A = this chain, B = another copy of it.
Amino acid sequence: MNFEDIAKQAKNASLEMAELTTEVKNQALLKIADALEENKSKIFEANKTDLEQAKDSVSPSVFNRLKLEENKMRDMIQGIRDVVKLEEPIGKTLLARQLDEGLNLYKVSCPIGVIGIVFEARPDVIAQISSLAIKSSNAVILKGGKESINTNKTILGIINNVLDSIKEFPKNALSQVFTHDDVAQMLKCDAYIDLIIPRGGNKLVKFIKENTKIPVLGHADGICHVFVDESADFETAKRVIIDAKTQYPSACNAVETLLIHKNFNPKEELLNELENAEITLVSNPDTWAFEHGDKTLAYKTVEGLDEAINHINTYGSGHTDCIITKDEQNAQKFMQKVDSAGVYQNVSTRFADGFRYGFGAEVGISTNKTHARGPVGLEGLTIYKYKLIGNGHIVKDYVDGTKHFNHKDL
């Protein structure tokens, strides 16, 4: 089937999905979790094939992400059951207003429609995204990394078997494509696809953002900063920077640049402590807009708060930035003026994550300035429609002055 037909089917499915009840969706999710559990060995086998084929051609980190062992499988299945517990995101009344006698306006949350997801070779993502799509009544078209093709096919096959057995569930809600050409077509398919979420490296995200007019939700770079203010507590600074840089250096919310106030006295001591924690310090302006992804940390001495804010707004990626300070006013100014999705005071940048924020699940982290910013949970997969219910109300009466709006919130 060509891509356009797949996308058209997904669009049709999405229109049906808007009607699914919470009960049907949650039952589907629980059945999927059970089915994956029952078919574990089949999935491990498919994964073994993928691993075998990939072992000589991919980096150890890609290989690790591709590898699905008992622990990851358990988390993946638990993740689906956790989505069941999340609040229903669709059909929420966001506004109820009487415009006039007998004329009531309701703003009601609804699914976005069809979402294209392009992700790397991480087979656990397919279950995570599928469960979020089901819960939010969106159809999805998934394109995973080519190295995980057998695992992905097996997992989505099991999921779709369950969905096919539920009569209320529309066909083709979750589909999968496999080639680069499919991605190229996805980017052009604005007639049927409403949103694209790329999950993966900087290059992939940039390529997608530059080659589509469909809205894209995600982040290309995670150039996060920690600014150590004049009044910073030494231990807090040390603790936070070491966590932000070393706890998981390749994460997008790991710190890349350290800015130190020129009057922060134990500066040399702090830098020594960081080096003791196996952090490689560099002081090179060429790296100010660079995501190292390892234990390298750029640092710069700044004149004060204003220069720090300015540096972050110039070289940062609007992801997550932190001030270490005991000065409440400086903290507030920093958090006000730094134009990032996350602005932190005295805590590690690594907290920028949907699970840690208590969203229960995460589609990704967005550095967009519209729709959804920061860690995106189920809410980011919804939009709203306005329902207006009346009884023969016409605009002419209000333009004539025969009738008047009262705009009373219900």
Contacts and interface: CB of A to CB of B under 8 A. Distances in A.
A395 B353 CA distance: 11
A394 B15 contact: no
Residue of A113, A343, A391 ringed by the most chain B CB atoms within 10 A = A343
Interface residues of A, number: 73
A239 B343 contact: no
A183 B19 CA distance: 42
Interface stretch (A77-85, A157-165, A368-376): A368-376
Interface string A382-396: 011111111111111
17 contacts: A15-B337, A15-B339, A18-B336, A97-B358, A213-B213, A215-B370, A235-B392, A240-B392, A342-B388, A346-B393, A347-B388, A347-B392, A351-B395, A356-B398, A356-B405, A357-B386, A370-B370
Contacts of A295: none
A112 interface: yes
B356 A99 contact: yes
Nearest to A11: B313
A388 B213 contact: no
Given A194-B369, A215-B215, A394-B240, A385 B247 contact: no
Interface in A100-118: 103, 105, 112-113
A386 B19 contact: no
Residue of A358, A369, A389, A393 ringed by the most chain B CB atoms within 10 A = A369
A339 B113 contact: yes
Contacts of A348: 393-395
Interface in A138-176: none
B386 A342 contact: yes
Given A373-B383, A374-B386, 4 more contacts: A210-B213, A335-B387, A348-B393, A358-B405
Given A357-B105, A383-B370, A393 B18 contact: no
Given A18-B336, A103-B347, A97 B385 contact: no
A236 interface: yes
A195 interface: yes
A352 B113 CA distance: 22
Given A357-B105, A385-B340, A392 B213 contact: no
Contact of A370 (B195, B342, B386): B195
A168 to B, nearest CB: 14
B393 A343 contact: no
B113 A389 contact: no
A342 B15 contact: no
A219 interface: no
Contacts of A342: 385-388
Contacts of A99: 351, 356-358
Given A112-B370, A113-B369, A387 B345 contact: yes
Q: 3 tightest A-B contacts by CB?
A: A243-B394, A347-B390, A358-B407
A352 B395 CA distance: 10
Contacts of A4: none
A356 B396 CA distance: 12
Contacts of A135: none
A34 interface: no
B394 A247 contact: yes
